[in-house]
A and B are shown apart, each in its own frame.
Chain A
Amino acid sequence: MSSLVIKNLRVGVETDTGLTEILKGVDLTVNSGETHAIMGPNGSGKSTLAYSIAGHPKYTIIGGTVTLDGVDVLEMSVDERAKAGLFLAMQYPVEVPGVSVSNFLRTAATALRGEAPKIRTWVGEVKAAMTKLNMDPAFSERSVNEGFSGGEKKRHEILQLELLKPKIAILDETDSGLDVDALRIVSEGVNRVKAESNIGVLLITHYTRILRYIKPDFVHVFANGHIVEEGGAELADKLEENGYAEYIKS
């Protein structure tokens, strides 16, 4: 049982005019086995929350705490956060030319597990995970994210989720740019990992579409840098009907 606990988190970015506050006090707890959807309009700070938890250097922590099972996450380097059990599936996965998917996955697995996975079982493990995500085995010889279609990039993120088995996964707009078939395959992947490893999921999205496939236990509406309303899955239905207009006004 793991808990990611975010308390009064305030985060800013450096701009020409100084530090601009984007997250203005976020409180949120994600436990193993729970799925939380964070929904909100563009520019509300949803992605900032995801990247701050993962430790992107662009963001400056102004105040508040983030702990995983009681341990201070904000003090950790980016790789230490991954080792502690956090995973961020990115909206725009980065291209790394010349580094093959297979080399990348094996290097990551080695770093997270503390020893190189046995080559034979590892190859089988990767193949099985790729098959489940409808990925061509030739994929593993390509450079990381280079020339991948939008759908391929997202499948590759979920492939990593399956192989790296975090405690808490943050999925940042994983549904963006996916057609219906890809959305279903990617969602099934997330559900599979949930069922197998009982991970906690923090699902960041603009649209309710993905929530038809990945059922949230909690929905949080995010606007202007903090959570403005919370509820169960039914809150998503309300958003589907009314949009975010009433939250943006303030």
Chain B
Amino acid sequence: MTTLTTNLLNHAKTPTGREEAWRFTPLKRIAGFHDRAIEITDQVSLFLKSPNQHGYTLQLQPADSVPPSSATDDVIVERIRESVSQVTLLEINRDAEISEPITLNRKNSSNRELSRTVIRAGSNSKATVIIENTGESLIGEEIEIILDSGATLNFITLQEWENSTVHLARHHAVIGKDATFNSVTVSLGGSVVRILPTVEYTGPGASAELFGVYFATDGQHLEHRIHVEHGVPQAKSRVNYKGALAGKDARTVWIGDVFIRAVAEGTDTYELNRNLLLTDGARADSVPNLEIETGEIVGAGHASTTGRFDDEQLFYLMSRGIPSDEARRLVIRGFFAEIIAKISDEVIQERLMARIDTDLSKVGA
């Protein structure tokens, strides 16, 4: 495990927008957050939504009893670590197999919040954790997910915010030997959403799936900066994010950094990002970045495509009598279906698709 190197007395520099990590982010719209200009209260808005089950504990712990397990150079994460007095700690017992998802819901209304959550999946446990974010908020969030050897964790976060929310987050997974981390990040709501889904491995045989879906309409900025650090041999990663954009100043950013260090022989990695521009006036940035320090690997690849709506698909469906708006909905649902299907809860699947439909009709795309 990486040792904590953050020096609390030496703050990360306030971003100016010229830094690589911040050059896409509209700093004006998160003003006060990154530069500490506004006060943010210390509070906890995350609660259990699903019924109680055996095999795990969920509790609030004093922050200093749950120290961070990873280093960070992110100014928001640093601020969170300094500020929070309590940490939400979800521990899944070793060998526990929890059949139903553990669902946590965050329902905010115009609150400012800094939040730290730690999820520990005990060895050989199997569980699904879903975090639903709804409401209006200005929130900085750090989630650390630690998988002990042989654990399998499905981790799903749903950004179903109202469109005024600012959500700046890091979701960092530390994956042990033979453990499997399957994540799906869905970002539909929010004014500015900037999430850092990051992964490091601590033992061979570890595997990570980082899947995501985002849909930005008028004025939304949705940013996902993936970082997979292959620092051990024989680990696997798959990244697949699909995004659509519609309306004036809809903006998405996808960064896919995958590093294969010299020791990481036998690495197997592939990352993919596809963007669908539904109207003029939207902009998608997609930057895959693969750095390889050893040739002794199973495979490493990346692909990125950004394209317009396929009129041939529309013509085909309409030539069978399907009206144009319904045909567009079908194609867009189809585009996202591959990822949404990974969320094995039909109620949630349908809710997300319905939100996409609603957002679509709002911008008249």
Contacts and interface: CB of A to CB of B under 8 A. Distances in A.
A88 to B, nearest CB: 6
Interface in B308-340: 310-313, 315-324, 326-327, 330-331, 333-338
Residue of A77, A82, A94 with most chain B CB atoms under a 10 A cut-off: A94
A60 B310 CA distance: 19
Contacts of B336: 98
B320 A90 contact: no
A98 B323 CA distance: 19
A88 B312 CA distance: 14
A53 to B, nearest CB: 10
Nearest to A166: B321
B357 to A, nearest CB: 14
B335 A98 contact: yes
Contacts of A88: 319
B317 A96 contact: yes
Nearest to A84: B321
B69 to A, nearest CB: 37
Interface string A161-175: 000100000000000
B338 A77 contact: no
**Contact size class for B?**
20 to 34
Interface in A46-96: 54-57, 77-79, 81-83, 87-88, 90, 93-96
Contacts of B334: 96-99, 143
B313 to A, nearest CB: 5
Contacts of B315: 54, 56-57, 78, 94
Interface in B70-95: none
B324 A79 contact: yes
A107 B326 contact: yes
A108 interface: yes
B320 A82 contact: yes
B313 A107 contact: no
A93 B327 CA distance: 16
Contact of A94 (B313, B330, B338): B313
Contacts of A144: 316
Contact of A111 (B310, B311, B313, B320): B320
A57 B321 contact: no
A112 interface: yes
29 contacts: A57-B315, A78-B324, A79-B321, A79-B322, A79-B323, A81-B319, A82-B320, A83-B321, A90-B316, A93-B316, A96-B317, A96-B334, A97-B334, A97-B337, A97-B338, A98-B333, A98-B335, A98-B336, A98-B337, A99-B330, A99-B331, A99-B334, A103-B330, A104-B320, A107-B326, A108-B320, A108-B322, A111-B321, A143-B334
Given A54-B315, A78-B319, A108-B320, 4 more contacts: A88-B319, A96-B334, A98-B333, A108-B321
Interface of B: 310-313, 315-324, 326-327, 330-331, 333-338
